């Protein structure tokens, strides 16, 4: 797999890279199976009570996160590219079958590279529409939140 993604943040990209102690097929499964996604997707103590995915280019996804008080935060998007065990690309610019969303914020580019010995180099790029959106996402705690979720993802992928 050729990785042409940025290795450090640019003015519109936020990048998180982790070496996960889990095989990439398991890490990929945790991103593509709703029952597994629910177990790690939100940083604890938040939860993800509902996830729907139509895993195909053009297919929609809906992730509902809930805070510790039960307040729900729905997020809809659409898959753009799917390379099993290697890459997932999705965006909130569309909500499925190319229906535009009200306010696009970012596109996620996830790569899963075999790092040998059952490990995965996991890279998540959040590519924003504007530098202001990137800065807002950074202030919302992108690195901390996505970092916590990556640790939860690693823990689950290592035991399934």
CATH architecture of 33-159: 2-Layer Sandwich (3.30)
pTM, two decimals, is 0.91
Around Cβ 44, how many Cβ atoms within 10 Å? 11
DSSP SS3 for 70? coil
pLDDT tens per residue across span 86-123: 999 999 999 999 999 999 999 999 999 999 999 999 99
Q: In sequence order, what are the residues at sequence separation of 6 or more whose Cβ sits closer than 8 angstroms to the Cβ of residue 55?
A: 32, 79, 82
Q: How far apart are CA 156 and CA 49, in angstroms?
A: 17
The Cα angle at residue 130 between residues 145 and 43, in degrees rounded to 5: 10
Residue 57 per-residue DSSP state: T
Chain centroid to CA 158: how far? 18
Note the pLDDT tens digit of each residue in 72-83: 999 999 999 999
The full set of domain ranges for the chain reads 33-159
CA distance 43 to 33: 18
Give me the mean pLDDT over the 143-148 stretch.
96
pLDDT band with cut points at 50, 70 and 90 for residue 1: very low
Q: Is residue 4 over pLDDT 80?
A: no
Is the pLDDT at 156 greater than 50, yes or no? Answer: yes
């Amino acid at each position: 797999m050729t990785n042409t993604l940025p290795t450090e943040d640019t003015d519109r990209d936020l990048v998180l890279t982790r070496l996960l102690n889990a095989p990439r097929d398991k890490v990929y499964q945790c991103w593509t199976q709703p029952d597994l996604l629910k177990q790690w997707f939100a940083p604890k103590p938040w939860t993800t009570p509902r996830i729907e995915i139509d895993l195909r280019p053009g297919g929609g996804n809906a992730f509902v996160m809930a805070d510790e008080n039960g307040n729900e935060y729905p997020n809809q998007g659409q898959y753009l590219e799917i390379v099993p065990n290697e890459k997932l690309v999705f965006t909130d610019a569309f909500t499925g079958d190319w229906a535009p969303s009200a306010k696009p914020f970012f596109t996620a580019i996830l790569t899963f590279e075999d790092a040998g010995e059952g490990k995965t180099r996991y890279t998540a790029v959040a590519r924003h529409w504007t530098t202001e959106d990137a800065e807002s996402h950074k202030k919302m705690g992108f690195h901390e939140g996505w970092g916590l979720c990556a640790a939860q993802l690693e823990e689950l992928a290592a035991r399934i």
